[in-house]
Structure 1
Amino acid sequence: MEQVKPLKARRQLGVELRAARTLVGKTQRDLAAALGTNQPRVLRAEHGDTLLTRAEVVQWLDATDAGQDVHDRVLVLVDGAHTETWPWRDGMAGGHLQGAAAVDEQAAVRIRNYAMQWMPGLVQTGAYAQALLAQLGGQDTPAAVAARLERQAILFEPGRRFELLFEESALLWSPAVGVMPAQLDRLLSVASLDAVEVAVLPTARVGASGWAPFMLWTDAEDAVAVTTELPNGEQVESSPDGVAAFEAVWSELWAAAHIGNAALDFIRQRSA
């Protein structure tokens, strides 16, 4: 699978951090010790694959005796990197976006997905994916469908957790005639996996208003990032305050949802 390039601000931040380190002759292990982390994480930060917190970047700059002008320039990059939009066109490797999605999934040990209108890619049938991607356009649909189905193998990998939260409308809306019975059967099948928990938000409820669909990604180091799909690209949010706001929305929505057997019964009623 082709590796997707880091976001622009994140990539530039990595360049600045590496320059600060090498200018004073310190090694990646030196910086790892100063930050209380490990050398591979420092390497990923310099390549733009891992985004450090603002506090960690300040520690990095202090450890490398960076001047005030460097502090100011780099901290502007940090703030931009934590709230950056990734254009869809940048992820069109192989004529589709599935490689970019797979990179995010492979880096996560816990994925929380709030779906409003359509099924998440990890639970879609081939027929559902074919109809949906054809509607969205701009991709090589057969290749995208094949790659999307290949991504679903991650559901069976040990050490991962998936929490899928659906609005009731996602169970009712169909991208084409006749695809929903098999799709809902597929959702019930995925829900039976030990690593998967499914919840459904009934439309007839009080409070817990729906927002834009979003995903919360937790990596092996317990860092959390949020992605929200927009018409022009994917909004990435990883600042502590931004993540906390989405965590609060997730908790409110999850508390209002049917969970466990109640969710499965609700889905079965819609598939009858």
Structure 2
Amino acid sequence: MAVSPSSSAQQARQVLADRLADLCRDAGLTGREIAERCGWHPSKSSRIMNGRTPPSADDIQAWCRACGAENQMADLIASLRTAEGMWIGWRRMERTGLKQAQEARSPLFERTHRFRSYSSWLVPGLIQTYGYTEAVLRAVQRRRVEVDDVGEAVTARMERQRVLYEGGRQFAFLIEESVLRNGLCGADALIGQLGHLLTVGSLPNVSLGVVPMRPDRSRMPVEGFWIFDAEQVNVELVSGYLTITQPSEVGAYADTFAELAELAVYGASARALITGAMDSLG
């Protein structure tokens, strides 16, 4: 399990480590004795109990057998999987292709009622056109994914967009002005994407803000992120996909969203920036 920059993931790892240490104490064993029973170097059990080295599923099974706590195996391995899921490298997440990675997010979108999305790089996926999405996912596939299922992945993302129109959900999108002028899809497709932003921005359940480019900002751009209700944040980083559930961290992203929202323009002013970008493209 990769070490995550999120304290949510670190806390989950420490909780698991503490549970394993408790099993050891309850069995009347020392870390050295656990290592001997498992056939490990003594330092390994110490690193696991202190949360410095995450255990594997095999390690947990061996630990439980050594402590006579086989009935705890399934629950502890489930905790391991939860901690691992908070930080997923792109290679692991996309090893079977992009379609599955898209479909895996659908349940979260289905159960969320309030969405907040900030993007400093690209138009958010939920309001992308087919052509824009195809260009973005094709670039991802060429860079890091061996399986070519881009067509199916685009279809999966388009299907997910139905949440915009059902279930009484609320959406707040913030994008940097630079997003309106940069793209991977070429001028014609980008013009179509900008026209789609005008359409989506007119929906009664959608707030669309554009943060103008200016030399005297009070808050610089940050990495793109999504806030789902007030329960979870997802961040796409260069190295992987981060899930945050720690309330204090979710709150920090909510505060950041609010600060960036104060810098944005809306309504006619946002439409003027969008149409200006369209005009500059031809």
Which among 120, 125, 130 is matched to residue 121 of structure 1? 125
> Which residues of 2 match residues 166-185 of structure 1 at below 5 A?
166-177=175-186, 178-185=188-195
The number of aligned residues is 200
Please give the residue correspondences for 1:154-233 in structure 2 after superposition, counting only pairs within 5 Å.
154-177=163-186, 178-204=188-214, 205-218=216-229, 223-233=230-240
Structure 1 residue 239 displacement after superposition = 1.0
Amino acid at match of 1:266: L
Q: Does structure 1 residue 246 correspond to structure 2 residue 256?
A: no
Whether 2:264 is the aligned partner of 1:257: answer yes
Equivalent runs, 1:65-76 vs 2, <5 Å: none
Structure 2 unpaired stretches of 5+: 1-8, 20-71
User: Cα deviation per residue 1:45-94 (whole Å; 9 max; x = unaligned)?
Assistant: xxxxxxxxxxxxxxxxxxxxxxxxx9xxx9xx69x849921334346667
Name the amino acid aligned to 1:243. V
User: Is residue 270 from structure 1 mapped to residue 280 from structure 2 by the alignment?
Assistant: no
Structure with bigger strand share is: 1
Partner amino acid, structure 2, of 1:132: V
2:207 is paired with a residue whose SS is strand
Shift in Å, 1:194:
1.0
For 1:134 and 1:238, the matched residues in 2 are separated by 30
**Counterpart of 1:142?**
151
Q: Describe the SS at the equivalent of 1:179.
A: helix
Distance 2:128 2:152 in 1: 15
Q: CA deviation at 1:225?
A: 1.1
Task: State the identity as a percent.
Answer: 32
Q: Cα offset for 1:95?
A: 4.6
Answer whether contact 2:169 2:205 (CA < 8 A) is retained. Answer: yes
Q: CA deviation at 1:240?
A: 1.5
For the residues of structure 2 that align with 1:246 and 1:95, how far apart are their CA atoms? 27
TM-score (norm 2): 0.64
SS at match of 2:86: strand
Distance 1:189 1:93, change over 3 A: farther
Amino acid at match of 2:249: G
3-state DSSP of counterpart to 1:174: coil
Determine helix, strand or coil for the equivalent of 2:113.
strand
Residue in structure 1 matched with residue 3 of structure 2 by the alignment: none
Segments of 5+ residues of structure 1 without an aligned counterpart are 1-6, 17-69
Aligned-pair Cα RMSD in Å: 2.9
